[in-house]
């Protein structure tokens, strides 16, 4: 029998954003720069980091993402996410604990359209000749600094990102729901490398002392035209995904 998440959703609710319904149109954002790093995390408290609808993965891991969008309807912005690996039914997914965005306008749109748990911070991404660096500063503190070293070219078909799951509150009825975001990517350039985590503050990412990175797994960097799609599924966070999920879009 697979295990399930044990998060107290009501206690986590102050950390979520309000979504303005489930019918937002997609955004196509050209030339996104994406740093994606996987790290194993401590196993024992891992189930507390996700609602009942999800099944924790073994071994436990977190996804650390920093993405720069040079063009968007609200101007250029950079967003950083920390997600925990899980399954919704049998599908691999990433449950987003927290997002930080470089501009208030972008944070507002990501929250209201797709339910990102977004706040404003100083978010930075830069590719150097020997490494790619992603960094988030909040109130003068560095809450995330991650690098990809030893850059090596690969094909875009070697990269497989997973869909993002966002716990949010529906503005219409006030209910807590999980929405699924399935971006699409057309890769222009892709690289892999060696991950290095130089700073991480779990509490700032709503992980507290339960989210402790332990061992590097992988790192990739890509440039891709990215479509933030319409919301496809909405789920009850307190019911298994097989039983509590409603399809919104094809």
- Give residue-wise pLDDT tens across range 62-120: 999 999 999 999 999 999 999 999 999 999 999 999 999 999 999 999 999 999 999 99
Q: Report the predicted TM-score, pTM, of the whole model to 2 decimal places.
A: 0.97
As a whole number, mean pLDDT of residues 225-245 equals 96
* CA 78 distance to own-chain centroid: 13
- Start-to-end Cα distance in the chain: 30
Confidence band, pLDDT 50/70/90 cuts, at residue 229: very high
When computed from its CA atoms, the radius of gyration of the chain, rounded to whole angstroms, is: 17
pLDDT in tens, 155-166: 999 999 999 999
| Cα 241 to Cα 245: distance, rounded to the nearest angstrom | 6
Please work out, in degrees rounded to the nearest 5, the angle formed at the alpha carbon of residue 228 by the alpha carbons of 223 and 231. Answer: 155
Mean pLDDT of 1-27: 94
pLDDT attached to residue 36: 98
Evaluate if residue 249 carries a pLDDT over 80: no
- The whole-number pLDDT of residue 44 equals 82
pLDDT band at 148 (very low <50, low <70, confident <90, very high): very high
pLDDT higher than 70, residue 142: yes
Percent share of the chain, pLDDT over 70 = 99
Would you place residue 193 in the very low, low, confident or very high pLDDT band (cuts 50, 70, 90)? very high
Q: How many CB atoms lie within 10 A of CB 146?
A: 27
Predicted pLDDT at 230: 95
- Segment 33-56 mean pLDDT: 95
Task: List the one residue out of 83, 42, 57 whose CA is nearest residue 209.
Answer: 42
DSSP string, the chain: --------HHHHGGGPEEE--S-PPPEEEEEEEEEEEEEEE-STTGGGGS-TTEEE-SS-EEEEEEEEES--TT--EEEEEEEEEEEETTEEEEEEEEEEESSHHHHHHHHHHH---EEE-EEEEEE-SSEEEEEEEETTEEEEEEEEEEEEE--GGG----EEEEEEEETTT--EEEEEE--EEEEEEEEEEEEEEEEE-GGGGT-GGG--EEEEEEEEEEEEEEEEPPP-EEE-TTS-HHHHEEE---
Average pLDDT over residues 112-132: 97
Domains plus CATH for the chain? 9-247 (2.40.400.10)
The pLDDT of residue 45: 86
Structure tokens at 159: 């990269």
**pLDDT at residue 50 greater than cutoff 90:** yes
Q: Say if residue 2's pLDDT is above 80.
A: no
Confidence of residue 129 (pLDDT cuts 50, 70, 90): very high
Residue 33 near residue 207, CB atoms below 8 Å: no
- What pLDDT does 141 receive? 97
Residue 248 tokens read as 């919104």
């Amino acid at each position: 029998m697979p295990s399930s998440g044990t998060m107290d959703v009501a206690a986590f609710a102050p950390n979520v954003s309000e979504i303005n319904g489930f019918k937002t149109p997609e955004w196509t954002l050209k030339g996104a720069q994406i740093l994606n790093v996987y790290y194993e995390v401590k196993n024992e408290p891992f189930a507390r980091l996700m609602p009942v609808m999800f099944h924790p993965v073994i071994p436990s891991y977190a996804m650390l993402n920093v993405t720069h969008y040079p063009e968007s309807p609200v101007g250029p912005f950079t967003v950083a996410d920390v997600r925990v690996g899980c399954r919704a039914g049998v599908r691999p997914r990433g449950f987003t604990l927290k997002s930080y965005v470089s501009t208030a306008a972008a944070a507002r749109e990501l929250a209201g359209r797709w339910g990102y748990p977004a706040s404003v911070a100083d978010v930075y991404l830069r590719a150097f000749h020997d490494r790619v660096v992603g960094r988030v500063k909040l109130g003068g503190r560095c809450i995330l600094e991650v690098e990809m070293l030893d850059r090596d070219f690969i094909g875009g078909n070697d990269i497989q990102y997973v869909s993002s799951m966002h716990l949010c509150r529906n503005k219409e009825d006030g209910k807590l729901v999980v929405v699924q975001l399935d971006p699409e990517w057309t890769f222009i350039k892709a690289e892999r490398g060696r991950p290095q985590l130089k700073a991480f503050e779990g509490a700032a990412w709503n992980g507290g002392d339960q989210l402790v990175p332990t061992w590097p797994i992988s790192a990739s960097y890509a440039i891709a035209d990215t479509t933030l799609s319409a919301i496809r599924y909405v789920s009850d966070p307190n019911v298994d995904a097989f039983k509590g999920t409603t399809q919104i879009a094809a």
